[in-house]
């Protein structure tokens, strides 16, 4: 058996976006860093593939808060323009309703408020007031709690904590998102539009606390962006930056076990080799970390007590023709949103009339992301976590419902236009990305204490073991995964 050791070595388990960001941060602290990834490529969910002549980002499709990427380049002392370019989108999303109403989600707040007034008869002052409140919650509460550990006593003494607590009104804890939206808006369509932001962390707007109404601030106040080359360019840029700084990556290298002794992490076993390190960071789902890497049934069972987030059923379609009614991001709403979420979290299946999301990167880079006069459609519906459903049978039903909905609302005949097709189900999401039950965001935020119940970024039982990624604090999605890396690195810097 080969053994390797070093005095100041950090091992990262998993090359997801949080794992790569963690590698960069720990490398800049002076650690020798080695990343072990079971797949043959970096990025985890933020990966890419080609289908015929069509390019597809496999996972996350929305890019907000580019400053989090810039921060890593600043930390590493490298010019970001050499690795990564992006631009702000004038429209965040197009919204389609069954009655033919189409709302353009303008990035400019004034234009968006005017659009909601003209299309939905929503008073302009309602939209302006709500987005101002969303900014206030984010800037005073979100910014603090999303950038600091909720599980360290030292957080209580950090600058900004009392300002954050002062802004934490009881309504943000005890009212659901839907209840706050109903009070804030006059139009049921506007309520539905803002309810959808619960899905950004795989939650139910009829249960999730209204604290999550900070999420629209990211799109409608800060803006959404398109990275040149698609979302995979985020992975590529950070991977190249990590390599430049001396991080070592091992692909097709599934970690079998984390070695502990006297409640201290000491290394890993991979392909029969024992590799020692005094700092182990798991970017693997925390459930699988405990169950498979630590063989700890007690702690893995504890993770199961929390409700899992929703998953997704995704169709990757190479589509003939250009469809001008669609933009980069598009939402085609169900008539009955409450019923859809009831099916997701209670009946554990996909509703018969699901809300459909379509992402088309060819809108921003025609001829590059898809052949000329053709488009790459990433078509997603919210799905329940994988509990052994027959996804092949479910998939056939979902596909039929999705195509019927797109034909109806967009007034097209889609089936003959589909030239390439691939699907991703909660079951395959689980197997490809080691996300327990295929949950995209780890645990849901369907309770008022969900944020405090997320697993911390460090182990209370095992010294030298840390956690990053969507299954731990502060949650899933690219910005929060990058935040998790920062929180972890700050803790490591104190510990070492």
Q: Per the domain annotation, does 66 fall within a domain?
A: no
**pLDDT, tens digit, for every residue of 392-430?**
999 999 999 999 999 999 999 999 999 999 999 999 998
- 16 or 157: which carries more pLDDT confidence? 16
Flag the least confident range among 3-7, 27-31, 46-50, 199-203. Answer: 3-7
281 with 302, same domain: the answer is: yes
- Residue 173's pLDDT is 64
Q: Which of 28, 35, 5 is nearest to 283 (CA)?
A: 35
Structural domains of the chain, count: 2
Domain boundary among the residues 384, 402, 433 is at 433
Q: Does residue 104 surpass a pLDDT of 80?
A: yes
237 with 223, same domain: the answer is: no
**pLDDT, tens digit, for every residue of 24-82?**
999 999 999 999 999 999 999 999 999 999 999 999 999 999 999 999 999 999 999 99
95 with 196, same domain: the answer is: yes
- Residue 201's pLDDT is 87
The separation between CA 28 and the C-alpha centre of its own chain, rounded to angstroms, equals 25
- 291 or 444: which carries more pLDDT confidence? 291
- Residue 435's pLDDT is 86
- Residue 441's pLDDT is 81
Q: Per the domain annotation, does 365 fall within a domain?
A: yes
Flag the least confident range among 84-88, 107-111, 137-141, 457-461. Answer: 137-141
Domain boundary among the residues 380, 407, 433 is at 433
314 with 301, same domain: the answer is: no
- 94 or 6: which carries more pLDDT confidence? 94
112 with 94, same domain: the answer is: yes
For the segment 372-382, the average pLDDT, to the nearest whole number, is: 98
299 with 314, same domain: the answer is: no
**pLDDT, tens digit, for every residue of 291-325?**
999 999 888 888 777 788 899 999 999 999 999 99
Q: Per the domain annotation, does 268 fall within a domain?
A: yes
For the segment 133-147, the average pLDDT, to the nearest whole number, is: 85
- Residue 5's pLDDT is 44
Q: Does residue 344 surpass a pLDDT of 60?
A: yes
Q: Does residue 2 surpass a pLDDT of 50?
A: no
For the segment 206-215, the average pLDDT, to the nearest whole number, is: 91
Domain boundary among the residues 387, 406, 433 is at 433
Q: Per the domain annotation, does 487 fall within a domain?
A: yes
Q: Per the domain annotation, does 442 fall within a domain?
A: no
Q: Per the domain annotation, does 79 fall within a domain?
A: no
182 with 243, same domain: the answer is: no
Output the domain CATH number for residue 105.
3.90.660
Output the domain CATH number for residue 34.
3.50.50.60
Q: Per the domain annotation, does 68 fall within a domain?
A: no
186 with 312, same domain: the answer is: yes
Tell me the pLDDT band of 448, cut-offs 50, 70 and 90.
low
216 with 280, same domain: the answer is: no
149 with 221, same domain: the answer is: yes
pTM summary value = 0.93
119 with 197, same domain: the answer is: yes
Q: Per the domain annotation, does 411 fall within a domain?
A: yes
- Residue 142's pLDDT is 77
Range of the domain at 255: 3-44+232-307+450-495
- Residue 163's pLDDT is 57
For the segment 95-105, the average pLDDT, to the nearest whole number, is: 97
- Residue 160's pLDDT is 60
For the segment 483-495, the average pLDDT, to the nearest whole number, is: 96
Query: Quick one: what percent of the chain has pLDDT higher than 70?
Result: 92
Q: Average pLDDT, whole number, for the chain? A: 92
Q: Does residue 4 surpass a pLDDT of 70?
A: no
159 with 21, same domain: the answer is: no
């Amino acid at each position: 058996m080969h053994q390797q050791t070093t005095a100041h070595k950090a091992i990262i388990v998993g090359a997801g976006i949080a794992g790569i960001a963690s590698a960069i941060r720990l490398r800049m602290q002076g650690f020798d860093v080695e990343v072990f990834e079971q797949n043959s490529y970096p990025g985890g969910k933020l990966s890419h593939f080609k289908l015929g002549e069509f390019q597809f980002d496999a996972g996350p499709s929305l890019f907000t808060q580019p400053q989090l990427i810039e921060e890593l380049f600043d930390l590493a002392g490298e010019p970001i323009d050499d690795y990564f370019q992006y631009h702000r989108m004038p429209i965040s999303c197009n919204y389609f309703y069954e009655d033919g109403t189409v709302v353009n989600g303008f990035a400019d707040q004034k234009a968006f408020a005017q659009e909601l007034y003209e299309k939905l008869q929503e008073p302009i002052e309602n939209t302006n007031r709500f987005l101002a409140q969303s900014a206030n919650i984010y800037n005073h509460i979100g910014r603090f709690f999303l950038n600091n550990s909720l599980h360290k006593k030292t957080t209580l003494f950090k600058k900004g904590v009392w300002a954050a607590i002062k802004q934490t009104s009881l309504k943000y804890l005890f009212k659901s998102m839907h209840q706050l939206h109903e009070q804030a808006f006059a139009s049921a369509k506007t309520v539905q539009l803002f309810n959808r932001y619960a899905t950004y962390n795989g939650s139910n707007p009829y249960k999730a606390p209204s604290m999550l109404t900070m999420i629209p601030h990211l799109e409608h106040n800060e803006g959404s962006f398109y990275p040149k080359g698609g979302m995979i360019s985020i992975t590529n840029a950070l991977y190249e930056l990590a390599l430049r700084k001396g991080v070592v990556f091992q692909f097709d290298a599934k970690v079998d076990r984390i070695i502990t002794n006297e409640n201290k992490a000491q290394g890993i076993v991979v392909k029969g080799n024992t590799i020692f390190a005094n700092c182990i960071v798991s970017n693997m789902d925390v459930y699988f970390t405990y169950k498979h890497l630590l063989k700890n049934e007690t702690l893995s069972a504890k993770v199961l007590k929390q409700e899992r987030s929703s998953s997704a059923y995704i169709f990757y379609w190479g589509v003939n023709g250009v469809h001008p009614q669609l933009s980069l991001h598009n939402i085609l709403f169900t008539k009955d949103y409450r019923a859809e979420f009831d099916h997701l979290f209670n009946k554990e299946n996909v509703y018969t009339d699901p809300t459909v999301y379509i992402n088309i990167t060819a809108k921003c880079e025609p001829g590059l992301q898809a052949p000329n006069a053709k488009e790459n459609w990433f078509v997603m519906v919210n799905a329940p976590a994988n509990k052994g459903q027959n996804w092949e049978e479910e998939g056939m039903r979902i596909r039929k419902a999705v195509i019927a909905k797109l034909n109806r609302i967009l007034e097209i005949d889609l089936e003959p236009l589909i030239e390439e097709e691939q699907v991703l189900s909660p079951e395959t999401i689980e197997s490809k990305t080691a996300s327990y039950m295929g949950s995209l965001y780890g645990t849901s935020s369907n309770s008022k204490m969900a944020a405090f119940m997320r697993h911390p970024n460090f182990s209370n039982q095992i010294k030298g073991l840390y956690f990053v990624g969507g299954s731990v604090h502060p949650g899933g999605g690219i910005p929060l995964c990058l935040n998790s890396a920062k929180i972890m690195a700050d803790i490591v810097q104190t510990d070492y």
